[in-house]
């Protein structure tokens, strides 16, 4: 098999890159059988572990699939690894108010990412640990033979809820008990359940500006009246919350999504006070609070909540992978029964085999090891990205607070929105997938910004990506110099 290794970095990542390029260029067609790992290792003069690791990484990213006993094949579904991208049929008028609102809110063009770009900086592709596929396969196999196959506990397997309590106490400062935990299919379902339990049509929900647009869509489709509350360097501006408290405030305190700041301790106290006085609920979306670098995490909002008003939501989509569709809620005591009822009516409980596999992975220490690996790896990619931005973009971008998670937000105050749109289009042409922060705002921000996801690219790729980014900025600067002086960069 003809594969050209580029000589940069460890052998397994060279091989992964070479195979990806063969697949993307069509040299390896969908459905093609890959050589057995031993044979390829001999042919390339590398160890079999190197080939196994590369195959594992390709499998995790959806480039190849493995068939037990018959080897690995180029994936036939690689073209659509994400949710369906086609707009739903518009052939009938919507039959319900929900369907009508959902049509208005769900914009299928937003997730139409630049997945086909060689260097895609899409946020939230957590294929960081190349061994996770193998580890997870083992856990699933174990769980399949150790799980009772009848309908399981609606609230979630007790063993998983116990593991989550232990984990939350150790890592997030939250003391809770398994009877307060509800296992859900990710944050998305937590929001759906919260809408059903807490909101009638027209009830108010305060949400950060900028925000996680899926949360906006979910609440909006349910018929909530949404209030966009500004954020600044300390997170949610609590003083901008309305005098009359809404039913719910949705926040991302550990790492404001997508702008980056951590909700300061003073603001945390202010928000809790507000909820107590106004008798409203807070939903704490701790989507990547586990992934913290350099500065220690603040305790979760839930850990400071003496009034039992915070609904804490954790997800395995970032720390494991999105396709797992598992997350959990820590519920205020008085809301437990209503949420469990809603979960029962929704799907009778999340898949038990996956829950058992996850509980076992947590119990035997595999999850903690994986988390340590991920944190270390992501931190080194984050540093590479920051160093690359400093080198190639310099003062043309301002890097926002970047101490957590899987993405960095950069602001381009010296450019206008049209210039940044042109920059994105140009980057796309050059094989670099960049994403504007604008879709996460209800009203476009004054200053254009980009969300740079760094979990889907290796350090070498990040270096190359920042170099390309710098070249795209140079091109925009050159175009501005040729245009009228008013379009010129202010710097
Ligand atoms: C702010 C935020 N919350 C939660 C999630 C995870 O959602 P889910 O658990 O439904 O996959 C994401 C994923 O992109 C996110 O960006």
User: Which domains occur in the chain, in start order?
Assistant: 11-74 (1.10.10.10), 119-128+370-487 (3.90.1150.10), 147-364 (3.40.640.10)
Write 147-150 long-range contacts (CB < 8 A, 24+). Answer: 147/352, 147/353, 147/356, 148/352, 149/352
Indicate whether 110 pLDDT > 70: no
pLDDT at 144: 96
* Six-digit token string for 412: 């381009």
The per-residue pLDDT for range 42-85, each reduced to its tens digit, is 888 888 888 888 888 888 778 888 765 678 888 876 544 444 45
pTM of the model as a whole: 0.83
Task: Give dist(CA 381, CA 454) in Å, integer.
Answer: 7
Q: Ligand 1 centre from 28 Cα, in Å?
A: 33
Q: Ligand 1 centre from 117 Cα, in Å?
A: 23
Q: Ligand 1 centre from 215 Cα, in Å?
A: 9
The per-residue pLDDT for range 278-307, each reduced to its tens digit, is 999 999 999 988 888 887 777 899 999 999
* Greater model confidence, 409 or 38: 409
Q: Atom 4 (ligand 1): residue with closest C-alpha?
A: 287
Query: Ligand 1, residues 184, 254, 318, 440: which to mutate, most atoms within 8 A of Cβ?
Result: 318
Return the ligand 1 atom nearest residue 317 CA: 11
**CB within 8 Å of 102: residues ≥ 6 apart:** 94, 217, 221
Indicate whether 147 pLDDT > 90: yes
Query: Ligand 1, residues 195, 217, 284, 287: which to mutate, most atoms within 8 A of Cβ?
Result: 287
Pocket residues: Cβ below 6 A from ligand 1: 124, 186-188, 212, 252, 257, 285, 287, 315, 317, 322, 327
Mean pLDDT of 231-243: 97
Mean pLDDT of 442-468: 94
Q: For tokens 């010296």, what's the residue? A: 414
pLDDT at 63: 85
Mean pLDDT of the chain: 90
Q: Ligand 1 centre from 16 Cα, in Å?
A: 27
Return the ligand 1 atom nearest residue 252 CA: 1
Q: Ligand 1 centre from 214 Cα, in Å?
A: 8
* Six-digit token string for 354: 């996956």
Q: Atom 12 (ligand 1): residue with closest C-alpha?
A: 287
HEC assignment per residue over 192-226? HHHHHHHCCCCCEEEEEECCCHHHHHHHHHHCCEE
Q: Ligand 1 centre from 354 Cα, in Å?
A: 19
Indicate whether 268 pLDDT > 90: yes
Mean pLDDT of 399-421: 92
Q: Ligand 1 centre from 475 Cα, in Å?
A: 34
| CB-based burial label for 96 (10 Å; 0-12, 13-18, 19+) | exposed
Structure confidence at residue 310 as a pLDDT band (50, 70, 90) = very high
């Amino acid at each position: 098999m003809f594969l050209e290794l580029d000589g940069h970095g460890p052998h397994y990542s060279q091989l992964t890159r070479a195979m990806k390029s063969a697949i993307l260029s069509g040299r390896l067609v969908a459905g093609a059988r890959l050589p057995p790992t031993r044979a390829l290792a001999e042919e390339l003069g590398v160890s079999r572990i190197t080939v196994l690791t590369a195959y594992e990484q390709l499998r995790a990213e959806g480039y190849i699939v493995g068939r037990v006993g018959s080897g690995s094949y180029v994936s036939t579904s690689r073209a659509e690894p994400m949710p369906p991208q086609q707009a739903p049929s518009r052939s009938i008028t919507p039959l319900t108010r929900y369907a009508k609102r959902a049509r208005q809110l769900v914009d299928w063009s937003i997730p139409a990412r630049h997945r086909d770009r060689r260097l895609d900086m899409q946020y939230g592709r957590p294929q960081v640990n190349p061994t996770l596929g193998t580890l997870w396969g083992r856990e699933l196999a174990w769980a399949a033979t150790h799980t009772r196959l009848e309908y399981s506990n609606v609230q979630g397997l007790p063993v998983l809820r116990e593991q989550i309590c232990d984990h939350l106490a150790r890592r997030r400062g939250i003391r809770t008990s398994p009877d307060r935990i509800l296992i859900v299919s990710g944050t998305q379902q937590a929001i759906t359940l919260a809408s059903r339990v807490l909101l009638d049509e027209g009830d108010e929900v305060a949400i950060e500006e900028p925000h996680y647009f899926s949360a906006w869509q979910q609440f909006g489709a349910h018929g909530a009246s949404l209030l966009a509350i500004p954020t600044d360097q300390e997170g949610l501006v609590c003083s901008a919350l309305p005098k009359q408290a809404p039913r719910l405030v949705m926040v991302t305190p550990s790492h404001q999504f997508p702008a980056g700041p951590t909700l300061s301790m003073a603001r945390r106290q202010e928000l809790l006070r507000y909820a107590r006085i106004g008798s409203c609920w807070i939903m704490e979306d701790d989507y990547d609070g586990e992934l913290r670098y350099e500065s220690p995490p603040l305790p979760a909002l839930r850990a400071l909540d003496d009034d039992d008003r915070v609904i804490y939501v954790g997800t395995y989509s970032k720390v494991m992978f999105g396709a797992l569709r598992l997350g959990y809620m820590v519920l205020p005591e008085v809301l437990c029964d209503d949420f469990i009822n809603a979960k029962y009516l929704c799907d009778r409980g999340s898949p038990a085999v996956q829950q058992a596999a996850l509980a076992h992975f947590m119990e035997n220490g595999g999850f903690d090891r994986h988390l340590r690996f991920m944190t270390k790896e992501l931190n080194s990619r984050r540093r590479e990205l920051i160093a690359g931005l400093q080198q190639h973009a310099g003062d043309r971008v301002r890097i926002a607070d970047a101490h957590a998670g899987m993405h960095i937000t950069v602001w381009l105050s010296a450019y206008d929105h049209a210039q940044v749109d042109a920059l994105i289009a140009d980057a796309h042409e050059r094989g670099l997938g960049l994403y504007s922060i604008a879709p996460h705002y209800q009203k476009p921000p004054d200053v254009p910004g980009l969300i740079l996801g760094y979990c889907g690219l290796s350090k070498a790729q990040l270096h190359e990506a920042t170099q390309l980014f710098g070249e795209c900025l140079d091109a925009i600067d050159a175009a501005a110099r040729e245009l009228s002086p008013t379009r010129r960069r202010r710097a």
